[in-house]
Amino acid sequence: MTTSQAADEPHSARRAGRREWAGLAVLALPALLASLELTVTHLALPAISRDLAPGGTELLWIVDVYAFMLAGSLITMGTLGDRIGRRRLLLIGAVAFGVGSALAAYSPNAEVLIVIRALLGVAGSTLMPSVLSLATAMFPDPRQRAVAIGLIIASVSGGTAIGPLVGGWLLDRFWWGSVFLLGVPVLVPLLVLGPRLLPEHRDPGAGRLDLTSAALSLAAVLPVVYGLKQIAADGPGALPVLSVAAGLAAAVAFTRRQRKLADPLIDLRLFANRAFSTSVGTLALGIFVLWGANYAIAQYLQLVHGLPPLEAGLWTAPSAAGVIAGSLLAPRITRRVRPGFVIGGGLALSAAGFVLLARTGGSDALAILVAGSVTVSAGLGPMMALATHLAVGAAPAGRTGAASAVSSTAPQLGGALGIAILGSVITAVYRGEMASVLPAGSLPPGLPGGVAQAVRDNLGGAVAAAERLPGALGAELLGAAHEAFTRGLHLAAVVSAVVAAGTAILVTVLLRHVRAGS
């Protein structure tokens, strides 16, 4: 297929053959990497905390900055792919991601790691828009496209399952940086097979990339997320409020500019389609609660229950199976049930799972944790597959690239906010609880003032400090820190349950008339 033939034209009568399905297997690799990278980072946080000694805010930024930069760059990269070719952008991004991963593995301190993670976010933003737009062009038949997107979502969930297992094995045997090297062998087959199996797709009529719009999109995302994170952790302050205001102002300027441009980064007319706008919003809210939960669970297993990384990975693997099952079954279910009801029912199930997570504790804590996380993921699997399919399918043939970029941006931005806000909720509860247990000026014997501040700041600091204290005193401090973190987890789970239940109601009402093939 030539570039001109592949320029987002309708192919409603054509069904994909063996070459397209083989190409889909190649596209599954960067999709798997998208979640693999974030999962292993969560798992490595305790080891990073020990070796690099980041503060509580730095620890959040190590995770957050990747997701923030990725979310802020997705629209720009999706538009760039329309111009230079989506396959070309995918391969360039894969090389950059591999190099960045190797650099992250050998970061000497937290500050350098944060900077490299930011660059990785930009490189990572080339992956999913290219994957979705290529899959949409390769599978124009609606039923085949639904299955293809379901398989891509299953690949993302596969990374969630594989990441804890392989990452845990590496962390048990090597240093924390080894988990960042996982992306290198995943990307090698993509670079070898991609040029042979993936057709090139670009829009020959696309204009030049508007750099001002690209800068405004990034300026709209980063200040808002930073401000919300700081407000959730420390309460309203002058700098966080100003950051949110600056981000919103940039978002308004970005929107106005898109309306004036003949060739905008985002065609705002897409949002006039109810199926598109509702699906995009659902993706953002669904991944908001999912990523927030994953962040908390990874730390709870290692720092509260003291599980080694590999064992912690085994306890989180079942939840990924729930997403895989849900995303693969969803296209079949929608042959009989309308997508809005399937998505709404799944979100209601996830809300019930978060209620279970809010009861985590006691002797059966791990059983409750697994049951709750599997329930959450099983409910979110259909949402991820069907909302993505509806968002891409709702766009006219000439705008599938923009729709793919937006449907990739929404979950990334939602996930980034989920980690930032729900993670900050946990941090705020933890600090409040520990301030009452260990008030300023009241230090256990043998605990220096600087270490005491780390104890009040985050659970990793408390675990490290407890190892320096005599047995009974260390156990008492550790028990208080575990209880404080668990209470934060409970509150975050309750917030997530409310968000999931509210979204379930809205999506059921708004999409009740939308059919799977419409």
> pLDDT of 352-410, one tens digit each?
999 999 988 777 888 899 899 899 988 988 888 888 888 877 766 556 666 777 877 78
Q: What is the identity of the amino acid at 315?
A: W
pLDDT tens-digit map of 232-287: 556 678 888 898 899 999 999 999 998 888 778 777 888 888 888 899 999 999 98
- Write down the H helix ranges in 85-235: 86-105, 110-124, 127-138, 142-173, 183-197, 211-234
Question: What is the average pLDDT across 444-458?
Answer: 65
Can you read off the two tokens belonging to residue 301? 């297993």
Nearest one of 360, 374, 369, 390 to 486, comparing CA atoms = 360
Q: What is the identity of the amino acid at 419?
A: I
293 Cβ contact list (under 8 Å, min separation 6):
354, 357, 373, 376, 422, 492, 493, 496
pLDDT at 441: 53
Query: Running DSSP on this structure, what letter comes out for residue 358?
Result: T
φ, ψ (nearest 5 deg) of residue 128 = -65, -40
Q: How far does CA 258 lie from the centroid of its chain?
A: 26
Provide the 3-class DSSP secondary structure of residue 4.
coil
Can you read off the two tokens belonging to residue 407? 């449907």
In angstroms, the CA 288 to CA 496 distance is 8
pLDDT tens-digit map of 309-326: 778 777 877 887 787 887
Instruction: Report the half-sphere exposure of 174 (CA within 13 A, side-chain side).
Output: 14
Residue 347 has pLDDT above 90, yes or no: yes
Query: Running DSSP on this structure, what letter comes out for residue 53?
Result: -
Q: Is the dihedral of CA 434, 437, 439, 445 positive or negative?
A: negative
Percent of the chain whose pLDDT exceeds 90: 13
473 Cβ contact list (under 8 Å, min separation 6):
444, 445, 446
pLDDT at 250: 93
- Write down the H helix ranges in 300-338: 309-333
Question: What is the average pLDDT across 467-489?
Answer: 81
Find the angle CA(35)-CA(25)-CA(92) to the nearest 5 degrees: 65
Q: Please check whether residue 408 is in contact with residue 15, taking contact to mean a CB–CB distance below 8 angstroms.
A: no
Nearest one of 464, 508, 462 to 481, comparing CA atoms = 462
In angstroms, the CA 142 to CA 135 distance is 12
Query: Running DSSP on this structure, what letter comes out for residue 268?
Result: G
Can you read off the two tokens belonging to residue 248? 């919103």
Supply the mean pLDDT for the chain. Answer: 81
pLDDT at 160: 73
Start-to-end C-alpha separation, the chain: 27
Residue 4 has pLDDT above 50, yes or no: no
In angstroms, the CA 315 to CA 373 distance is 10
Question: What is the average pLDDT across 439-468?
Answer: 67
pLDDT band at 478, cuts 50/70/90?
Answer: confident
User: What helix, strand, coil percent values describe the chain, rounded to 5?
Assistant: 80, 0, 20
